[in-house]
Amino acid sequence: MAAAGSGARAGHENWSSRSAFILAAVGSAVGLGNMWRFPAEAGENGGGAFVLFYIFCVLLIGLPVLLSEVLIGRHGQANAPESVRRVARDSKASEGWSVLASMGVFAAFLILSFYCVVGGWVIYYIGVFASDLFQTGLTGGAFEGRAAEDIEGLLPSLFGNGGLMVGLNLGFLAVTMFFVSRGVSSGIEWVAVYLMPLFFLLFLGITIYGAFTGNFNEAVAYLFTFDFSKLTGEVMLAAVGQAFFSLSLGVAGMMTYGAYANRETNLGETSGIIASADTGVALLAGLAIFPIVFAAGLSASIGPGLMFQSLPIAFQAMPFGSLIGLAFFIMVFFAALTSSVSLLEAPTAWVFEKFKLARPVATIIVGTGAAVLGALSGWFWGAPVPGVASLALFEGQDLFNVLDGVTAKLFMPIGAILTCIFVGWIADARLIDKENGLDGVLHQTWRALVRYVCPIVLAVILVVGLTG
């Protein structure tokens, strides 16, 4: 770790190794986006068409943007807006481009606020399964003797309890703040290095179990049958938004993590690893959740409740159900924590570098803001936001859904378009070529994607998705 206060890179820290960087970045990418949001979005957008277009977005748009972001961060070695400013300065371009990262930092803050609300639900389910385990013992299924509607009703009854929602949200945020306040190597990295491997182990076990016990074939058909007629502008925008959300893009998070990477790290290769791991987990999560949904005769399109309402019903029928349920939600908690840490880190790094504050102080400032906004979305759950809810994009939506939609469908794609224009057209090509770690055909392909394909495709999807 570089000593705090060393010269021009004051307060700047580094990952202790390349694998720590990879684990932290994979930790940021893999989270509620994969386990909770991906299945919910796939279900709401008709399955196969969404999923295949999502994979297309990850490969052709997400991956090139991911490399562009970590590359800006590594060159700048600072918080995201400052990194963009440094790349612009070294390219003799306008420093005004830093606005793309300022927007990102703000979006990260917005996402953090509602992400911790869902983090709170995860804590609630950990509690539910732990007490169930205590009551029914190790070997029995979960929730013995309780009706399916009863189990499904757990989430709505939590929604009805504003005070509990807010409390759990604050609990999740507090844990996130604890690790971010400890800094890069002793806080953020610690979470990633210990929790991510544990997550993968638990995840694999549960997926294999789901594949063998649920309605696997129906799930595969649902997720991978491509029906072109279902691919509307709205579905495409949802898929792009999900790809960005899942890869942590367009919100300065990956720029911030890239800034802690050292010169020796090959960014092209690292980006490939991050995108593969993230997409692999999302698809496997779909393959773990949908077989269970179909086997239990539940609807695939219920949206945000999917993971929380369908899986517990499945755990009821399983031997060791309470134990498996508990393990599952602990695993989701770990994955969510490594992501929320990155969401908090992006604005925090900006605040403490910009205003020359101590890291813990900046953490408290940003965390308090997110606590207030998150508490509002928990408290006003289900209440359409006055004014905003009358717009077509946010029809009848509450604060939670407006924040989710505005970040994934506006901030992230727009941030990504600006990033591509900046990296592809504005920044000095020699500087970019030196940083990206790609050669030959791969390099040419990446450059063409960033210059032409990504901005054009994104702009088209944005327009089509927003207008109809």
Instruction: Give the DSSP per-residue string, 148-180.
Output: HHHHHTHHHHHHT-HHHHHHHHHHHHHHHHHHH
Q: Applying CB under 6 A, which of residues 235, 251, 399, 420 lies at the interface with ligand PHE?
A: 251
Of the candidates 435, 52, 58, the residue with the CA atom closest to the CA atom of residue 255: 435
Of the candidates 57, 64, 60, 69, the residue with the CA atom closest to the CA atom of residue 28: 69
| Residue 61 structure tokens | 């748009």
Contact 397, 389 (CB under 8 A): yes
Of the ranges 32-40, 352-360, 366-374, 449-457, which one interacts with ligand PHE (CB under 6 A)?
Answer: 32-40
Of the ranges 158-166, 241-249, 312-320, 458-466, which one interacts with ligand PHE (CB under 6 A)?
Answer: 241-249
Residue 242 as a binder of ligand PHE (CB under 6 A): the answer is: no
Q: Rounded CA gap, 376 and 391, in Å?
A: 20
Q: Rounded CA gap, 157 and 361, in Å?
A: 36
Instruction: Give the DSSP per-residue string, 427-460.
Output: S-HHHHHHHS---HHHHHHHHHIIIIIHHHHHHH
CB closer to ligand PHE, 80 vs 251: 251
Q: Applying CB under 6 A, which of residues 25, 26, 32, 133 lies at the interface with ligand PHE?
A: 32
Residue 77 as a binder of ligand PHE (CB under 6 A): the answer is: no
Q: Applying CB under 6 A, which of residues 339, 363, 397, 401 lies at the interface with ligand PHE?
A: 339
The CA-based angle 248-254-257, given to 5 degrees, is 135
How buried is residue 121: exposed, middle or buried, by Cβ count under 10 Å (0-12/13-18/19+)? buried
Of the ranges 16-24, 140-148, 339-347, 435-443, which one interacts with ligand PHE (CB under 6 A)?
Answer: 339-347
What distances in angstroms separate CA 51 from CA 55, 293, 449, one per listed residue?
Answer: 6, 17, 21
Contact 90, 431 (CB under 8 A): yes
What distances in angstroms separate CA 457 from CA 57, 233, 460, one per listed residue?
Answer: 10, 12, 5
In 10 A of CB 351, how many CB atoms? Answer: 21
Residue 33 as a binder of ligand PHE (CB under 6 A): the answer is: yes
Residue 336 is which amino acid? A
CB closer to ligand PHE, 111 vs 300: 111
CB closer to ligand PHE, 108 vs 151: 108
| Residue 228 structure tokens | 């072109």
Residue 28 as a binder of ligand PHE (CB under 6 A): the answer is: yes
**Scanning residues 149 to 188, which ones bind ligand PHE (CB under 6 A)?**
none
**Scanning residues 192 to 231, which ones bind ligand PHE (CB under 6 A)?**
none
SS3 of 183, please?
coil
Residue 142 as a binder of ligand PHE (CB under 6 A): the answer is: no
Q: In whole angstroms, how close is the CB of 105 to ligand PHE at the nearest point?
A: 11
Q: In whole angstroms, how close is the CB of 157 to ligand PHE at the nearest point?
A: 25
Of the candidates 114, 34, 442, 90, the residue with the CA atom closest to the CA atom of residue 274: 34
Of the ranges 25-33, 182-190, 355-363, 442-450, which one interacts with ligand PHE (CB under 6 A)?
Answer: 25-33
CB closer to ligand PHE, 151 vs 408: 408
| Cβ-based neighbours of 234, under 8 Å, separated by 6 or more | 45, 465, 468
Residue 342 as a binder of ligand PHE (CB under 6 A): the answer is: yes
Of the ranges 153-161, 248-256, 265-273, 449-457, which one interacts with ligand PHE (CB under 6 A)?
Answer: 248-256
Q: Applying CB under 6 A, which of residues 111, 133, 255, 417 lies at the interface with ligand PHE?
A: 111
Residue 271 as a binder of ligand PHE (CB under 6 A): the answer is: no
Q: In whole angstroms, how close is the CB of 209 to ligand PHE at the nearest point?
A: 23
**Scanning residues 344 to 403, which ones bind ligand PHE (CB under 6 A)?**
none
Q: Applying CB under 6 A, which of residues 11, 27, 31, 258 lies at the interface with ligand PHE?
A: 31
Q: Applying CB under 6 A, which of residues 23, 29, 188, 284 lies at the interface with ligand PHE?
A: 29
Q: In whole angstroms, how close is the CB of 248 to ligand PHE at the nearest point?
A: 3
**Interface ranges with ligand PHE (CB under 6 A):** 28-29, 31-34, 108, 111, 245-246, 248, 251, 253, 339, 342-343
